[in-house]
Amino acid sequence: MQAKMVNLKINNISVSVPEGTTILEAARKAHIEIPTLCYLKDVSCVGSCRMCLVEATGARGLVAACVYPVSEGMEVRTNTEKCRQSRKMTLELILSKHKKKCLSCERNHNCELQKLSLGYSVDEDRFKGEDFVLPIDTSTPYVVRDNDKCINCMRCVAACRKQNVNAIGPIGRGFHVHIGSAFDMPLSESVCVGCGQCIVACPVGALSENSTIENVWKALSDPTKQVVFFTAPSVRATLGEAFDMPVGTNVEGKMVAAIRRLGPDHVFNMDVTADLTIMEEASELINRIKTGKPMPMFTSCCPAWIKFVEQRHPEMIPHLSSCKSPQQMFGALLKSYWCEKNGVDPKNLYVVSVIPCTAKKYECTREEMKDDVDAAITTRELARMIKTAGIKFTELPDEEFDNPFATATGGGAIFGATGGVMEAALRTAAHMMDGSFEVLDFFAVRGTNPIKEATYLVAGNTIRVAVASGLANAETIIRQIESGEKKYDFIEIMACPGGCVNGGGQPTLSDSVRNNTELKESRAKALYTSDTKNELRRSSDSPVMDVIYNDYFGFPNSHKAHEILHTTYHADKRI
Q: What is the CATH classification number for the domain harbouring 119? A: 3.30.70.20
Residue 573 lies in a domain: no
Q: Where among 181, 209, 237 does a domain terminate?
A: 209
Q: Are the CB atoms for 548 and 333 separated by under 8 Å?
A: yes
> Does residue 561 sit in the same domain as residue 504?
yes
Structural domain tally of the chain?
3
> Does residue 65 sit in the same domain as residue 203?
no
User: What b/e string do you get for 5-20 counting C-beta neighbours within 10 Å, with b at 16 or more?
Assistant: ebebbbeeeebebeee
DSSP string, 190-209: SS-----HHHHH-SSSSEEE
Residue 258 lies in a domain: yes
Residue 434 lies in a domain: yes
Q: Are the CB atoms for 185 and 176 separated by under 8 Å?
A: no
Range of the domain at 292: 214-565
How many Å apart are CA 62 and CA 80, to the nearest integer? 11
**CA neighbor of 44 nearest in space, from 518, 521, 511:** 511
Model pTM greater than 0.85? yes
> Does residue 311 sit in the same domain as residue 393?
yes
Residue 292 is predicted with a pLDDT of 85
Angle at 305 between CA 304 and CA 306, to 5 degrees: 90
What CATH number is given to the structural domain containing 13? 3.10.20.740
What CATH number is given to the structural domain containing 277? 3.40.50.1780
> Does residue 314 sit in the same domain as residue 363?
yes
CA-based end-to-end distance of the chain:
44
> Does residue 62 sit in the same domain as residue 105?
no
Residue 574 is predicted with a pLDDT of 66
Q: Are the CB atoms for 87 and 53 separated by under 8 Å?
A: yes
Cβ atoms within 10 Å, residue 513: 12
Q: Are the CB atoms for 458 and 433 separated by under 8 Å?
A: yes
Residue 575 lies in a domain: no
| DSSP bridge partners of 517 | none
> Does residue 434 sit in the same domain as residue 382?
yes
Residue 571 lies in a domain: no
Q: Where among 158, 182, 209 does a domain terminate?
A: 209
> Does residue 16 sit in the same domain as residue 110?
no
How many Å apart are CA 372 and CA 331, to the nearest integer? 4
Residue 87 lies in a domain: no
Q: Are the CB atoms for 368 and 346 separated by under 8 Å?
A: no
> Does residue 355 sit in the same domain as residue 382?
yes
Q: Where among 79, 103, 131 does a domain terminate?
A: 79
> Does residue 535 sit in the same domain as residue 518?
yes
In one letter, which amino acid is 323?
Answer: C
**What's the sign of the alpha-carbon dihedral 254, 255, 256, 258?**
positive
Task: Count Cα neighbours of 109 within 13 Å in the Cβ-side half-sphere.
Answer: 6
Q: pLDDT per residue over 201-245, tens digit each?
A: 999 999 999 999 999 999 999 999 999 999 999 999 999 999 999
Residue 133 is predicted with a pLDDT of 83
> Does residue 48 sit in the same domain as residue 109?
no
Residue 245 is predicted with a pLDDT of 97
> Does residue 451 sit in the same domain as residue 535?
yes
Q: Are the CB atoms for 356 and 508 separated by under 8 Å?
A: no
Residue 112 lies in a domain: yes
Q: Could you list the active site residues?
A: 281, 284, 301, 321, 360, 363, 368, 500
Positions in the chain short of pLDDT 70:
1, 132, 573-575
Residue 299 is predicted with a pLDDT of 98
> Does residue 154 sit in the same domain as residue 240?
no
Residue 30 lies in a domain: yes
Residue 176 is predicted with a pLDDT of 85
